[in-house]
Structure 1
Amino acid sequence: MKPGQIQTLTIAEQISSGFILKDELGEKAFIQKIFADESWEIGNEVDVFVYQDDGALKATTEKANAQVGEFAVMTCVQSLPTGAFMDWGIIKDLFIPYKQQKSKILEGKRYIVYVYEDEATGLTTGTTKFKRNPQYEDLPLRQGDKVDLIMMNESELGWNVVINKEYIGLIYASDVFKKLYPLSEETGYIKTIREDGKIDVTLQPQGFENVDEFKQAILDKLNDNYGLLYLSDKSSPEEIKDELQMSKKNFKKAIGSLYKDKIIEIADDRIKLL
């Protein structure tokens, strides 16, 4: 049985306070009645999240913010000299020892937390100490993949981000076309997986095949401005970024396509709906 993860277990026994579940090797975990479904019967297989509590294995049907090997944004519910307890999304809080805190964790504040199994104790533990832009091998990601992002922090190069709750990547400053905030969630796209295993991400899809998204953004803006937009292919990248949150390259692709489709008219200093 693997604490800190969702697993499929078999209902082995029902007792007054809940159920005893077991895995294929016969290892057992207890789940309280309040987390069980009325339809459960002995022999049923159920998907549960397994966690440790006072040396015992327990289970819940609640959804944890993160499993072992994942990142999540969590709120500190109690801060002590020995460590901090974080809201894990389940009945049990996640403990972060003081030595695993990048800076002192304060009660009521939100942090990006990585969940792992402590090799020394075997306990599921959290940490706010992790490498920036680590090197990965055999990634299940490909260039152009759409991914979920958590914004970590801004640096001289750009923004460090968590990708799909499992990996750390970088959005270069030159690829940022909107205001970003730490701990916020965004949609991104894999730009490059470098030979050293580091991941570059962009907030906008790459390639002409994704021009429809930019065309729609321009049409929406035109409709909001009575069919007129004071931007053209001669506008500066900064003007386009401020108005549309896209690169000049993508803007030019989009208005070129709209022009060919006879949807807009392009002048020296503006575009206009036909």
Structure 2
Amino acid sequence: MNTLEVVREEERGIYLEAGADGEILLPAKEVAEGTRRGDMLDVFIYRDSSDRLIATTWEPKAMVGDFAVLEVTQVTAHGAFLDWGLVKDLMLPFGEQKRKVSQGVNVVVRVYVDEETRRIVATTRLGRFLGKTQRRYLENEEVEIMIVDRTDLGYRVVVEGEDWGLIYHNQIFQALEVGQRLKAYVYVTRSDGKIDLMLQKPGPEKAMDLSQQILTRLEQSGGFSELGDKADPSAILAAYNVSKKTYKRALSQLFKERKIVFEEGGIRLVK
């Protein structure tokens, strides 16, 4: 996105000053009533079907440097085209398709500028944009991730838009979808630079958060819960979205603090 000044008006639209790129047209259909010379407008710049720079007040679903999940609107002899929220669809060239795509499917892509054509395009070959910064992650560090795909080992993710990561199946206690963005925690950085992650906050901090949730639910349910230390793991997962091991650790801490007692068939809040 760019903030550019209106420098002149014509019937076809207004022109914006873009420095070394000269004046760029914002089509008349996108010009708000009352817009005048000297106004500063927030616009997105891309190339139209004639390869000319053009401005739009629409903000695309993904910009250069972003990873995103976009729907394939059509497949032609020139490549696939993706809905990225603008009038002109985003091209996904055949050579940039790791696997052949078809109309109507959603694909995870990285948006970039092709050095040869200078056009904004997409690629499903994500690897060449990852692992370049040699960033060092700390154990238990909180990071932003995007789910890319499901493998035999777990879910592959993009970490902080910079590196490959993996969440193993035995660390997953919630439904995940391709394209989903969420927080995760670094478990270990492997020798190949890839990162193993956890979705649950590690150690005592997670137990403390969960402990408060348990106390709140006990207060709301009259002081008793059937979810004791012998409860079925699926019931614990449904109620608190954590593993039984994590749940039992939180119960143990509450018991030590004399906030709950264990009874036949559940736990009770200590008044």
Q: TM-score range by the shorter chain?
A: 0.7 to 0.9
Name the TM-score, length of structure 1 as normaliser.
Answer: 0.80
Match of 2:153 in 1: 157
Q: How big is each residue's C-alpha offset from its partner over 1:123-152, in whole Å with a ceiling of 9 and x where there is no partner?
A: 111112222995342549665554443322
C-alpha distance 146-62 of structure 1, shift in aligned 2 (>3 A) = farther
Q: Highest Rg: 1 or 2?
A: 2
Match of 1:58 in 2: 54
Match of 1:45 in 2: 40
Aligned pair partner of 1:8 in 3, 7, 14: 3
Name the TM-score, length of structure 2 as normaliser.
Answer: 0.80
Which runs of 5 or more structure 1 residues have no equivalent in the other structure? 1-5
Question: Secondary structure in 1 aligned to 2:126?
Answer: coil
CA distance in 2, matches of 1:100, 1:211: 45
Q: Is the 8 A contact 2:132 2:162 kept in 1?
A: no
CA distance in 2, matches of 1:71, 1:231: 42
Match of 2:261 in 1: 265
Aligned pair partner of 2:211 in 215, 222, 226: 215
Match of 2:92 in 1: 96
Aligned pair partner of 2:125 in 109, 125, 129: 129
Q: How many residues align?
A: 268
Match of 2:226 in 1: 229
User: For residue 69 of structure 1, what is the amino acid of its counterpart?
Assistant: G
Match of 1:105 in 2: 101
Match of 1:205 in 2: 201
**1:251 partnered with 2:243:** no
Q: Is the 8 A contact 1:132 1:168 kept in 2?
A: no
CA distance in 2, matches of 1:164, 1:20: 37
Q: Is the 8 A contact 1:94 1:126 kept in 2?
A: yes
Q: How big is each residue's C-alpha offset from its partner over 1:86-142, in whole Å with a ceiling of 9 and x where there is no partner?
A: 001122210111222222221111111111112222211111222299534254966
CA distance in 1, matches of 2:147, 2:172: 12
Q: How big is each residue's C-alpha offset from its partner over 1:168-212, in whole Å with a ceiling of 9 and x where there is no partner?
A: 321122321223233344433344445643233321222323434
CA distance in 2, matches of 1:140, 1:13: 49
Moved more, 33-42 or 154-163: 33-42
Q: Is the 8 A contact 1:8 1:23 kept in 2?
A: no
Match of 1:78 in 2: 74
C-alpha distance 154-31 of structure 1, shift in aligned 2 (>3 A) = same
**1:18 partnered with 2:2:** no
CA distance in 2, matches of 1:194, 1:247: 25
Deviation of residue 78 (structure 1)? 1.1
CA distance in 2, matches of 1:142, 1:25: 42
Deviation of residue 85 (structure 1)? 0.9
Q: Is the 8 A contact 1:113 1:128 kept in 2?
A: yes
Deviation of residue 156 (structure 1)? 2.7
CA distance in 2, matches of 1:246, 1:177: 6
